[in-house]
Structure 1
Amino acid sequence: MTRGWGNWLFAIALLAPTPVVAADDAVVAAPAGSVQGSEERGIRVFKGIPYAAPPVGERRWRPPVSLAAWEGVRDATKFGAACPQPKPRGPSIYAGDLPATSEDCLSLNIWTPKNARGAPVFVWIHGGALTSGASSEAIYDGSALAKRGLVVVSINYRLGALGYLAHPELSAESPDHVSGNYGLLDQIAALEWVKRNIDAFGGDGGNVTIAGESAGGLSVMYLMAAPAARGLFHKAVAQSAYMVSAPGLKAAINGMVPAEEQGRDLAAKLGAADLAALRALPAEEIASKAPTTGYFPFPNVDGKVVPRQLVETFDRGEQAPVPILAGFNSGEIRSLRVLLPKAPADAAAYEAAVRAGYGELAPLFLARYPAKTIDESMLAATRDAMYGWTSERLVSNQSAIGQRSYYYLFDHGYPATQEWNLHAFHAAELPYVFGTATRTPPLWPKIPDTLAERKLSDAMTDYWASFAATGAPRARGYPDWPDYGDKRGFMHFADVPKAGHNLFPGVAALHEAVVCRRRAAGDIPWNWNVGVIAPPLPPKAAGCQ
């Protein structure tokens, strides 16, 4: 897609009804209240707009509460606070400067073309393992997508224990007798705000795409499965998502400790005897100490917000019936080696561990991940079991319910990534999608300013913008992106975009067979226990390979 194609998309957006905009085009009068934004690089930008009341005091660990419309004109020229989160423990390619943190963090940002009317809306959900990150990170700047005719929204949501803690006392005070999942409820509240208000900013509340990477992609899947989110979006983008098993709220399912029990354990380790004591703790203390106790934030299957395991929801065809664009990166685990177990001493030990874990499926596993290249095999196996299997499962499930589905592999490297052995690492596609190669974090492998890099970024930005606008990713001058339903079509983003069919034959089926047997056994989690640390494969069950 060239710039001319992007202008064509924008021209379509201009045909819709005029929004309610004040005389000064940097002021918007929305149902939530009037806001004063700014103009940056020819795009109107509105920052730090609250979409829910601050979840502080007695509102901590409760569903988000809508705000009453404010009076006067609210300043929207500065990003809001990031949600409380632990400080990085050491140097990281992902670490950057965040704004101040506060529990008063439920805000969103909007980039909108000048004079936009009825433009497609792209809602971005940041990653960070549900523990860190913020909508204000420079790599998520929405200007390039807005120049393609989209209204771009990025949101904050509660993180860590403040966003996902379940606890018996919290469940007892809930009208639905559930707890946890507050970060997911925040995302739903943000989408409800978008539905009520985005027309005033030139967007179309009836054409909303939700999108996210890593934990943001995980969130996209949970929004697709959440009954309360149904109808709030119309397309989905899941980049490097992971459909791993989740704990039950009260019951031990799939070998996982119940979420309420995890919350009770965390409270004890924080020295809080009851819920009142927990609410009295400073948010920063909870955010910083929780990870050191072994607590890991995750949605829980409560039967209400999250009806069942994601795999079951998608198998039953109960997810949102929307077009999807999903994929993963070839080097996902190169920057996430914390997910790898310790390598065996030699090839014989590697092969023995795999045979012990995979039983009759071991020959298939070893053919794909051979013992002669242990490091590369372990990187690929963990990548495929988490991100590759999830991505192909998503597009396959959506295709099965008659929805357009677009699959990709990001496989691009450049000198710095090659030097650091980080080819196509986790999140490496982000600056190409957002057109933010000059706005990456300080330690990010520097992207060279070359024509080839700019052209790849322009193409990816255009594909994503076209999908958000029309449900079909297109880029003039580049191949049409084949639907996954057409012979397992996919797009390969290496030096230039190339269309293909049948990516990694048999790989997703291998990991699906393992997951299927573990699900049937009922007492084994999946995806986190891959390769040399896999538990013995359960017997073959009905419907499983």
Structure 2
Amino acid sequence: MSESSGSSGSPATDAVITTADGVVRGQRGAHLARWRGIPYAAAPVGDLRFRAPQPVRPWTGVREATEFGLASVQPRWGTQIGPRRAQPSGEDCLTLNVVAPAAPSSTPRPVMMFIHGGAYFIGTTALRLYSGSRLALRGDVIVVSINYRLGAFGYVDFGEFSTPERPFDSNLGLRDQVAALEWVRRNIAAFGGDPENVTVFGESAGAHAVLTLLATPAAAGLFHRGIAQSAPADWGVPREDARAFARGCVGNLGATPANAVTMLQQASTHDIRKAVERQMARDTHERPGAFAIAPEVDGDYLPKLPITAIIEGSAHPVPLIIGTNLDEARLFVRFDDTLPTTPERLRGVLSGSREAESRIAAAYPGYPAPKAAVRAGGDYMFLRPSLQVMEAHSRRAPTYAYRFDYAPRAVRLAGFGATHALDLLPVFGGVDSAFGRATTIAGGHKGFRAVQHEFQDNWLAFARTGKPLATWPEYSEEHRITRVIDYPPRLEVDPGKSKRLAWESVRVPVPE
């Protein structure tokens, strides 16, 4: 499939759409139509740096929408989209992309809006895997992908340094996501989409963003179901911690409280990013598994920690699919080991409790050997809080739980297993891509393709109806039925029960 035209050798033709802000021209091929780099908010530069997203200034004439917009500010390695290729990044990054079947439809199509992961620090929608083409074709849906502010410009609250003349806002990346949903509400009908049938889905930090939107009052009514793949579900930063982190960043920038406003306004993008990265490195070294770059409980835009809102029952009661991967942490220990994947680190996040560690050791045979410790560390970060979400959300809305177990032989031999982010390949239909074929070079292509169908058919059914396929029952505290996505797939009642009970007995208090 040609990434530029959406067809096999068919030339692309104009796809002109009138949005609420102006006319955009994308590309239409034989099978797909695409629009890229459409602004959903004003460029957050100049006086809008560190401010909530503002409306787009309407334009006249036809705006070309055939190239991806800038990625959010981040290290260059975070925007790698191919060998020796990186997506340009910058502060003017609030754009989105739309892909839709080229054929007309007699009824509005379901909409799936994807929020990429990357620890709220890296990521770009220009990654070929995220195009959404195969999902759009297989499910007759419209896929929207968004860039949003990350790291220094999206998740650091400099509000303590605000002045009446120059205020700074909190939760900028979260506000961007809501602004993108508002754009979808206003405009997606012009692309053939149904603004009353919007599913938000994301992986890793993107999955956490889905759960955060559940707890964000401003997002009410803007989406109708959610899918959270490998969510670090209890992430979130109390206001005082957020402000302390921001003070450290300002200090790294060489500013004082007296000149902080001027420095934050005038410092280069690079200098601000590096100042925040230095503070992040210090913070993660002192507290493995804790991330200060995350949505802040500011008492206003985000009144409560997302997991607290879900547990207390104040989150939006939309249907939810949520799950984790069997071997989440194996990716991190190979490339970015910031999780509590050693007994020493795990003991730290458990507040040094020997009793807690003994319960974990009993649930993970072989502990404290490295393999068992790595699995426990991954489950601490992803499974433990996701179980809390499954339980609590199922009391108020249809909830569907899964665990992803499958890994092709080459992936297992490489030591990864069903690791973090591997699920993105089958969800987006990447099993037959060059990278997907490389994962099955030692066998397992048939199984991985079957897993791809399992993911896509359930995700698409859910986007269309609010329910996955009939073979996947709802989760409840009474039965805990979970879909194990493997080859072949199966249903299990309370899989990994001993691990669930161990984590329940040592549940880590959520910060307020």
TM-score bracket for the superposition, by shorter chain length = 0.7 to 0.9
Residues 57 and 279, structure 1, Cα contact 8 Å, conserved in 2: yes
Q: What corresponds to 1:512 in structure 2?
A: 504
Secondary structure in structure 1 of the residue aligned to 2:112: strand
CA distance in structure 2 between the aligned counterparts of 1:342 and 1:119, rounded to whole angstroms:
43
Establish whether residue 74 from structure 1 lines up as the match of residue 63 from structure 2: yes
Higher RCO (C-alpha 8 Å, min separation 6): 1
Pick from 238, 247, 262 the counterpart of residue 248 of structure 1: 238
Task: State the Cα distance separating 1:108 from its structure 2 match.
Answer: 0.3
Establish whether residue 293 from structure 1 lines up as the match of residue 279 from structure 2: yes
Establish whether residue 277 from structure 1 lines up as the match of residue 269 from structure 2: no
Distance 1:202 1:34, change over 3 A: same
Secondary structure in structure 2 of the residue aligned to 1:408: strand
Task: State the Cα distance separating 1:172 from its structure 2 match.
Answer: 4.5
Q: What corresponds to 2:97 in structure 1?
A: 109
Q: What corresponds to 1:446 in structure 2?
A: 439
Task: State the Cα distance separating 1:198 from its structure 2 match.
Answer: 0.4
Secondary structure in structure 1 of the residue aligned to 2:296: coil
Task: State the Cα distance separating 1:399 from its structure 2 match.
Answer: 1.0
Secondary structure in structure 2 of the residue aligned to 1:184: helix
Distance 1:218 1:341, change over 3 A: closer
Distance 1:396 1:354, change over 3 A: closer
CA distance in structure 2 between the aligned counterparts of 1:154 and 1:400, rounded to whole angstroms:
30
Residues 144 and 461, structure 1, Cα contact 8 Å, conserved in 2: no
Counterparts of residues 170-209 of structure 1 (less than 5 Å): 170-173=161-164, 179-209=169-199
Task: State the Cα distance separating 1:283 from its structure 2 match.
Answer: 1.4
Pick from 372, 379, 399 the counterpart of residue 377 of structure 1: 372
Secondary structure in structure 2 of the residue aligned to 1:400: coil
Counterparts of residues 486-497 of structure 1 (less than 5 Å): 487-497=479-489
Task: State the Cα distance separating 1:415 from its structure 2 match.
Answer: 2.6
Counterparts of residues 39-438 of structure 1 (less than 5 Å): 39-40=28-29, 42-88=31-77, 97-114=85-102, 115-116=104-105, 117-147=107-137, 148-173=139-164, 179-249=169-239, 251=240, 258-273=241-256, 274-294=260-280, 296-337=292-333, 338-341=337-340, 343=342, 357-371=352-366, 374-401=369-396, 403-438=397-432
What TM-score does the superposition give when structure 2 sets the normalisation length? Answer: 0.86
Distance 1:102 1:315, change over 3 A: same
CA distance in structure 1 between the aligned counterparts of 2:152 and 2:35, rounded to whole angstroms:
29
Distance 1:248 1:354, change over 3 A: closer
Task: State the Cα distance separating 1:363 from its structure 2 match.
Answer: 4.2
Task: State the Cα distance separating 1:438 from its structure 2 match.
Answer: 4.7
Task: State the Cα distance separating 1:352 from its structure 2 match.
Answer: 9.8
CA distance in structure 1 between the aligned counterparts of 2:83 and 2:479, rounded to whole angstroms:
40
What TM-score does the superposition give when structure 1 sets the normalisation length? Answer: 0.81
Distance 1:489 1:198, change over 3 A: same
Residues 109 and 154, structure 1, Cα contact 8 Å, conserved in 2: yes
Aligned residues: 478
Distance 1:164 1:111, change over 3 A: same
Task: State the Cα distance separating 1:233 from its structure 2 match.
Answer: 0.4
Residues 139 and 441, structure 1, Cα contact 8 Å, conserved in 2: no
Task: State the Cα distance separating 1:278 from its structure 2 match.
Answer: 1.6
Which one-letter code corresponds to 1:287 in the other structure?
A: R
CA distance in structure 2 between the aligned counterparts of 1:464 and 1:47, rounded to whole angstroms:
23
Unaligned runs of 5+ in 2: 1-12, 282-291
Percent identity between the aligned chains?
A: 35
Residues 217 and 241, structure 1, Cα contact 8 Å, conserved in 2: yes
CA distance in structure 2 between the aligned counterparts of 1:431 and 1:181, rounded to whole angstroms:
30
Which one-letter code corresponds to 1:100 in the other structure?
A: P
Distance 1:46 1:447, change over 3 A: farther
Residues 331 and 422, structure 1, Cα contact 8 Å, conserved in 2: yes
CA distance in structure 2 between the aligned counterparts of 1:121 and 1:209, rounded to whole angstroms:
6
CA distance in structure 2 between the aligned counterparts of 1:56 and 1:366, rounded to whole angstroms:
50
CA distance in structure 2 between the aligned counterparts of 1:60 and 1:350, rounded to whole angstroms:
37
Which one-letter code corresponds to 1:160 in the other structure?
A: G
1:241-268: CA deviation from partner (whole Å, max 9, x where unpaired): 012353322x3xxxxxx21121121111
Residues 165 and 179, structure 1, Cα contact 8 Å, conserved in 2: no
Task: State the Cα distance separating 1:27 from its structure 2 match.
Answer: 1.3
Unaligned runs of 5+ in 1: 1-23, 252-257, 524-545
CA distance in structure 2 between the aligned counterparts of 1:290 and 1:314, rounded to whole angstroms:
30
Task: State the Cα distance separating 1:461 from its structure 2 match.
Answer: 1.1
Secondary structure in structure 2 of the residue aligned to 1:322: coil
Task: State the Cα distance separating 1:361 from its structure 2 match.
Answer: 4.2
Counterparts of residues 448-467 of structure 1 (less than 5 Å): 448=441, 450-467=445-462
